[in-house]
Structure 1
Amino acid sequence: MPRGQKSKRLQGADETESLRGDQAAAAAAEECPTSPVSGGSPPSCPAPGPFQEPQGASAAGPPGAGVSFPRSDEGAQSQAEAGPSTSLVAPSPRSAPPDPLTRKAHMLVQFLLGKYKMGECITRAEMLKAVKKKYKEQFSEILRRASEHMELVFGLEVKEVDPGKHFYVLITMLDLPSEGSLTSDRSVPKTGLLTNILAVICLKGNRATEEEVWESLGVLGVYTGRRHAIFGEPKRLIIKDLVQPQYLEYRQVPGSDPPRYEFLWGPRAHAETTKMKVLEITARLKGTVPSAFPKLYEEALRDEERRSLPAKYWAIEVSLVLTKC
């Protein structure tokens, strides 16, 4: 092998190992190798059936490497002109090598998740200590990147509640009435994954194939058949925490032979959130506005109108009763 190619491969391996080291602080026990077991032979392919891994997913990088941290204002104008994509914000995990600030942002994400699990308030001084004080001058950029990652992957907003004392809290963005079912025992919240899947379903005409959903989740570093450093086994997580509680419906595509599968909004998602709310989060993460998605925006408006009809009729009926009193 030419020496230049060998050096390039070694450099890429060092960068990947650095990312793994950052995440091992909070989830080392859950990390698993991305290459086949000893002997070099590839693992046997599972029999056809639901939750199959899309082709090419294994080449996208280590689990837990997560996503890169794009600037929310970049590409907003071009996105509005080109139309929405199936993913929320992030480019491919392989689009750029991780720089020191991105690695520190990953470390800060781990720190924030730890604080969330313990239900503790967060101070700027604690966050700066977690990423090392020598990065004080770059801390604002590190916090921005970490905050975007928390929003995109975990559905948590890092909000400053006391600018004078620099106190921060983590707020769930989807704000479901039964949020506890997705964050039991203050475990890692799954609302980020749920929001992503609900958005993909909307963008795909209210139903999304299994392949389309896994392609979108792959942007977040979540692949079927591969244990994630933070979420664990993705297939089990989606079935147990999203499908079984009826946030999502998972069914065979009617008439498909061989069988193919698709996702739809579940009854619980229809009851506890709206298309407009999901669209607002999607637009915010893309650094644009809901009207940048004209077709989906119009559908969300119609959905809001349908939801308001019973309340309007009830108000009219009450007013008629009152006039007779």
Structure 2
Amino acid sequence: MGSSQGSQHRKGSRQDMEDQNPSEEMIWPQTLRHMFLNDRLYKLVPFLLRKYQKKEQVTMEEMLHIVDRDYREHFPVIFRDFCECMCAGFGIDVKEVDAPGHAYELVPLLGLTYKGLLNDDSESFLQISVLIVILTVIFIKGNTASEEEIAEVLRMRKILAQRDNIAIGEPWKFITVDLVRERYLEYQQIPNSYPDRYEFLWGPRAHAETSKMKLLEHLARLHRRDPKSYPILYDEAWREEQDRVRAPELGSWSPWSWSFPKLHQ
């Protein structure tokens, strides 16, 4: 046998769901497809991700300083689309907290910190944009995803990159080395496979920082659907939430404690 019967049965039962599994189009929502089309907004992404990791607020003035001076007049309209892209691509809500001062908080919708993944390379944020997608694929495939299934996700991302003329570095190294090193993913041989085949699972850090319910709610929110419209996935996510209530300590990893400084009155 190429893999364990239990794993095949679990995956097969999900593939039999009618209108339950998010489609490929849902995994790569339309807003995310246009995330990097605008060069002026493209410059904002690494800037905001660093603000996010430092748990700092950001002002409209700071953002306008990043974009081209001759583009400022049109920025407020484009900025709304950009916020949708930050939500879709990174699970970050850009929320205004001081209208007169035009100050914003970067609120974690999924809890993912991306700590250790964003470096001085300005292109690194392009790679971490696949993390949510990979975790989602693992969830809907039955809590494991084969190399072939993840490669298909990368193939879709590569097509997007080619169309949008953006580079994504070495995605396979990023997934099998960087995400494994940072414990977002586990990468292991499929039992009894010959020739050797490998699969991915959520790592302990993914379990600590986010949850199946958060991912499902995020996916449903992007497509204006109720999470319960995916009953099998919802039931599994709900059971995980109940387990978390009974056993809140999930290993040594723990999410950030998010507390933003109050604005001066």
Normalised by the length of structure 1, the TM-score is: 0.55
**Sequence identity, in percent?**
40
Question: Residue 147 of structure 1 is aligned with which of 76, 80, 83?
Answer: 83
The verdict on how the C-alpha distance between 1:301 and 1:92 changes in structure 2, with shifts beyond 3 A counting, is: closer
Once the two structures are overlaid, the 10-residue window that deviates more, 253-262 or 83-92, is: 83-92
**1:89-118: CA deviation from partner (whole Å, max 9, x where unpaired):** 425999xxx8xx9743x4213224235436
The verdict on how the C-alpha distance between 1:287 and 1:139 changes in structure 2, with shifts beyond 3 A counting, is: farther
Question: Residue 114 of structure 1 is aligned with which of 47, 53, 59?
Answer: 47
CA distance in 1, matches of 2:109, 2:121: 16
Tell me, what secondary structure is at the counterpart of 2:143?
A: coil
Matched, 1:290 2:227: yes
- Quote the offset at 1:296 in angstroms: 0.4
CA distance in 2, matches of 1:307, 1:126: 39
- Quote the offset at 1:203 in angstroms: 0.8
**Structure 1 partner of 2:13:** none
Q: How does 1:69-88 map to 2 (within 5 A)?
A: 83-86=21-24, 87-88=26-27
CA RMSD of aligned residues (A): 3.8
Structure 1 runs not aligned, ≥5 long = 1-79, 312-325
CA distance in 1, matches of 2:58, 2:32: 28
**1:31-50: CA deviation from partner (whole Å, max 9, x where unpaired):** xxxxxxxxxxxxxxxxxxxx
Matched, 1:174 2:107: no
Q: Which has the larger radius of gyration?
A: 1
**Structure 2 partner of 1:90:** 29
CA distance in 2, matches of 1:202, 1:248: 12
Q: How does 1:123-142 map to 2 (within 5 A)?
A: 123-128=59-64, 130-131=67-68, 133=70, 136=73, 138-142=74-78
Alpha-carbon contact 1:91-1:219 (below 8 Å) kept: no
CA distance in 1, matches of 2:110, 2:120: 18
Once the two structures are overlaid, the 10-residue window that deviates more, 273-282 or 165-174, is: 165-174
Question: Aligned residues, how many?
Answer: 221
Alpha-carbon contact 1:210-1:262 (below 8 Å) kept: yes
Matched, 1:165 2:98: no
- Quote the offset at 1:133 in angstroms: 4.5
Return the letter of the residue paired with 1:162.
D
Alpha-carbon contact 1:93-1:221 (below 8 Å) kept: no
**Structure 1 partner of 2:150:** 213
After the TM superposition, which parts of structure 1 deviate over 6 Å for at least 4 consecutive aligned residues? 184-187
Return the letter of the residue paired with 1:175.
G
Return the letter of the residue paired with 2:116.
S
**Structure 2 partner of 1:38:** none
**Structure 2 partner of 1:195:** 132
CA distance in 2, matches of 1:203, 1:155: 18
CA distance in 1, matches of 2:28, 2:198: 25
Alpha-carbon contact 2:89-2:132 (below 8 Å) kept: no
CA distance in 2, matches of 1:273, 1:115: 20
Tell me, what secondary structure is at the counterpart of 2:188?
A: strand
CA distance in 1, matches of 2:135, 2:193: 23
CA distance in 1, matches of 2:21, 2:97: 35
Return the letter of the residue paired with 1:305.
Q
Once the two structures are overlaid, the 10-residue window that deviates more, 111-120 or 263-272, is: 111-120
Alpha-carbon contact 2:91-2:108 (below 8 Å) kept: yes
- Quote the offset at 1:230 in angstroms: 6.5
The verdict on how the C-alpha distance between 1:212 and 1:183 changes in structure 2, with shifts beyond 3 A counting, is: same
CA distance in 1, matches of 2:130, 2:99: 30
**Structure 1 partner of 2:218:** 281
- Quote the offset at 1:304 in angstroms: 1.1
- Quote the offset at 1:218 in angstroms: 4.2
**Structure 1 partner of 2:5:** none
Structure 2 runs not aligned, ≥5 long = 1-17, 249-265
**1:284-304: CA deviation from partner (whole Å, max 9, x where unpaired):** 233333222211001101111
Return the letter of the residue paired with 2:99.
P
